[in-house]
A = this chain, B = another copy of it.
């Protein structure tokens, strides 16, 4: 019997023995009691046999074993501690809108997970894993009753192996992490100016000439689709046309609007190359191409990109202009709409629904296509108003390295969507985060996706009323550690990158600096302007986290100490310790930088960090004595911090924030 002792919202559970759930379930009722985990732990499907779900349960137990360090052998003689009832397998392949709900009941005797479909059962297992807590007697799960289901049916992550190659294991480990936070769509941006990444047997020059040898074989594609499917994730392929097609044109220049020859893109930014919409041969090629590619991807949605088409080549082509005139197409967008209509028919005859970026929206396209809004919430609302289904990506661009708080604050139903009627609202299917790969490699991409993607996953799954930032961050930081057991390397890649930068010398002074900075996203790095696909990605800007956990802790402490200088001795001690470390770090850092060429650009940052440490210590002294810091000191520090807030070496000195908080507090 369950005893419901209390019903709580998991507002703050940082570092407490309360599990960090993310996405937070719809209903969580903690009870008294706990279920202990040990080597005899066994999970078993108690409804109709289902080999695929049973394999998923096996993987779940293996992860639980990694997470706890307890060997779990699934001993046949043991009674199952977690029983799983799945009413039916659901669809063989995950389907948009299928029932993903589950309930989970844990008592000291055991746990029961119930779902209508395999997808729901997988979500319940993910929640079970997050409930595992290290408590006085070892690893355990609190007694709890959970009812849960998603808010949006389309919860995606887009990855881009075109700009920087992402080997198979990167894709797979990210699929595992996606499933762990209940994401259900993997959008695979498989071609762009800088690479065509799928083996084509029909048109082999696509991958032979357009990939530097870095492409997925068709066997590998089948493998990824099956891997994702087994984790409840749909795979939506994207072949971006008619722009973003330089890599196609290297092998097949006859598809282009200009004569060629073409070379694979090595630079970032938008290319002018574009398919020729005026030649029937283009459509014949695409027809045969879709024939092949739709056979690789069972999902009913097929993404044709369609973004950022540059009109220049079409405008300059007499042939295209004659064609446009003949078909009464007034400008480039109309030409693109014509092209899209043709493409849509080619997909439709193969049972596929077209999905494209904002720019595909045009009244000539049928209402069943899906629009992915990247330019803003306005375009999503516009699409919904016009009768199109849409998903939001604006606000979920992971490559901008924005704080999780920013992404968490973006809701597909807010802003322009807020005033829509219920029918239009029902056309908003969810959202997708985008991990464009100009400034990430296989080594760094995990740290640009995780843990921030978990916060977006919560926005797309949990009730909209969950908006408490402090709770979100506390849980995200716990879940970040937990995600490492799923296989992603967003934390593990940090130390090896720092050690590479020091040429293998002891790297602690660099770590102290690295912990105090944050990497910059696409915009500012683009403005530096020297990057190509051949540029090394081995600097602090690549190793630094998008958000510094340790600086965040200091900011919280500083705000409390500023508000109540004598009431927070532990927090004051934390600040004093860290400020002292910053102040003392510059000497060892400069020594290290003298021998480590990749650190040279960081010397001024290290000096600034030391200055912040010293300023912070002075401010603490004043606050503790109940004195206001001298006006001249405040003015000088304010000036200095303003200077330090300008990025250097393509990182932000996040350490300014806690000092600023004290400075502000000291002025009150």
- Interface, chain A (partner B; CB < 8 A): 15, 17, 20, 38-40, 66-71, 73-75, 133-138, 164-165, 212-214, 441, 443, 477-478, 481-482, 484-485, 489, 491-492, 495-497, 499-501, 503-506, 533-538, 542, 553, 595-598
Nearest chain B CB to A89 CB, angstrom units: 22
Nearest chain B CB to A162 CB, angstrom units: 13
Q: Determine how many copies of this chain the complex contains.
A: 2
Given contacts A75-B212, A492-B496, A496-B484, contact A68 B536 (CB under 8 A): yes
Contact indicator B73/A212 (Cβ below 8 Å)? yes
Nearest chain B CB to A164 CB, angstrom units: 7
Contact indicator A164/B71 (Cβ below 8 Å)? yes
Instruction: Please indicate the chain B residues that have their CB under 8 angstroms from the CB of A478 in the complex.
Output: 504
Given contacts A75-B212, A481-B504, contact A68 B597 (CB under 8 A): no
Contact indicator A441/B534 (Cβ below 8 Å)? no
Contact indicator A15/B595 (Cβ below 8 Å)? yes
Residue of B nearest to A133 (CB): B503
Given contacts A492-B496, A597-B137, contact A443 B504 (CB under 8 A): no
A379 to B213, CA, bound (A): 53
Instruction: Please indicate the chain B residues that have their CB under 8 angstroms from the CB of A138 in the complex.
Output: 536, 597
4 shortest A-B CB distances, which residue pairs?
A69-B538, A39-B534, A134-B503, A73-B212
A478 to B506, CA, bound (A): 10
Instruction: Please indicate the chain B residues that have their CB under 8 angstroms from the CB of A503 in the complex.
Output: 15, 17, 133-134
Instruction: Please indicate the chain B residues that have their CB under 8 angstroms from the CB of A213 in the complex.
Output: 73-74
A441 to B67, CA, bound (A): 13
Contact indicator A443/B69 (Cβ below 8 Å)? yes
Nearest chain B CB to A316 CB, angstrom units: 29
Nearest chain B CB to A177 CB, angstrom units: 14
Instruction: Please indicate the chain B residues that have their CB under 8 angstroms from the CB of A597 in the complex.
Output: 134-138
Contact indicator B69/A497 (Cβ below 8 Å)? yes
Residue of B nearest to A501 (CB): B134
Instruction: Please indicate the chain B residues that have their CB under 8 angstroms from the CB of A537 in the complex.
Output: 69, 71
Contact indicator B441/A69 (Cβ below 8 Å)? yes
Instruction: Please indicate the chain B residues that have their CB under 8 angstroms from the CB of A477 in the complex.
Output: 504
Instruction: Please indicate the chain B residues that have their CB under 8 angstroms from the CB of A135 in the complex.
Output: 597
Contact indicator A534/B40 (Cβ below 8 Å)? yes
Instruction: Please indicate the chain B residues that have their CB under 8 angstroms from the CB of A485 in the complex.
Output: 496
Kindly name the residue among A481, A495, A497 whose own CB sees the greatest number of chain B CB atoms within 10 A. Answer: A481
Other than A69-B542, A70-B536, A71-B441, give 10 A-B pairs with Cβ distance below 8 A: A39-B536, A71-B165, A71-B533, A73-B533, A73-B534, A134-B503, A136-B597, A138-B597, A482-B504, A492-B496
Nearest chain B CB to A455 CB, angstrom units: 17
Nearest chain B CB to A478 CB, angstrom units: 5
Instruction: Please indicate the chain B residues that have their CB under 8 angstroms from the CB of A164 in the complex.
Output: 71
Nearest chain B CB to A577 CB, angstrom units: 9
Instruction: Please indicate the chain B residues that have their CB under 8 angstroms from the CB of A489 in the complex.
Output: 492
Nearest chain B CB to A662 CB, angstrom units: 21
Q: Which of B38, B212, B482, B496 is A481 in contact with, Cβ under 8 Å?
A: B496
Instruction: Please indicate the chain B residues that have their CB under 8 angstroms from the CB of A137 in the complex.
Output: 597
Residue of B nearest to A164 (CB): B71
A459 to B139, CA, bound (A): 43
Residue of B nearest to A538 (CB): B69
Instruction: Please indicate the chain B residues that have their CB under 8 angstroms from the CB of A542 in the complex.
Output: 69
Contact indicator B443/A66 (Cβ below 8 Å)? yes
Instruction: Please indicate the chain B residues that have their CB under 8 angstroms from the CB of A74 in the complex.
Output: 212-213
A17 to B594, CA, bound (A): 12
Contact indicator A70/B496 (Cβ below 8 Å)? no
A67 to B503, CA, bound (A): 11
Nearest chain B CB to A446 CB, angstrom units: 13
Can you name 21 A-B pairs with beta carbons within 8 Å? A20-B504, A67-B500, A68-B500, A69-B500, A69-B537, A69-B538, A70-B538, A71-B537, A73-B533, A74-B213, A134-B501, A134-B504, A134-B596, A134-B598, A136-B597, A138-B536, A477-B504, A481-B496, A482-B504, A484-B496, A492-B495
Instruction: Please indicate the chain B residues that have their CB under 8 angstroms from the CB of A67 in the complex.
Output: 500
Instruction: Please indicate the chain B residues that have their CB under 8 angstroms from the CB of A553 in the complex.
Output: 506
A269 to B541, CA, bound (A): 52
A543 to B194, CA, bound (A): 43
A10 to B573, CA, bound (A): 47
Nearest chain B CB to A629 CB, angstrom units: 27
A230 to B137, CA, bound (A): 47
A505 to B537, CA, bound (A): 31
A208 to B534, CA, bound (A): 51
Nearest chain B CB to A209 CB, angstrom units: 10
Residue of B nearest to A534 (CB): B39
Instruction: Please indicate the chain B residues that have their CB under 8 angstroms from the CB of A504 in the complex.
Output: 15, 20, 134, 477-478, 481-482
Nearest chain B CB to A584 CB, angstrom units: 9
Nearest chain B CB to A638 CB, angstrom units: 30
Nearest chain B CB to A10 CB, angstrom units: 15
